Amino acid sequence: MRCYCVHNLHLSNRTNVIVALVDKFLLTVLVFDCNVNTTIFNCVIEQYLIHKITE
């Protein structure tokens, strides 16, 4: 049976978490309900964490 964008038959209930620690200090916790690929991870680093660290 073929599925043409009607249902995601490979849907998983995975939750991904990115945690940032600086000198044993919990800086941030980000929770995603999607797959975190390299693009998403790099955007988090560049657009969120670098600005948070430099504050």
Q: Give tens-digit pLDDT for 2-50.
A: 445 455 556 667 788 888 888 888 888 889 888 888 998 898 888 888 8
Residue 21: name the closest of 43, 42, 52, 46 by CA. Answer: 52
Give 29's strand partners.
19
pLDDT of residue 3: 43
Total tally of structural domains belonging to the chain: 1
List the domain range (segments joined by +) for residue 14: 1-55
For residue 8, what pLDDT is reported? Answer: 57
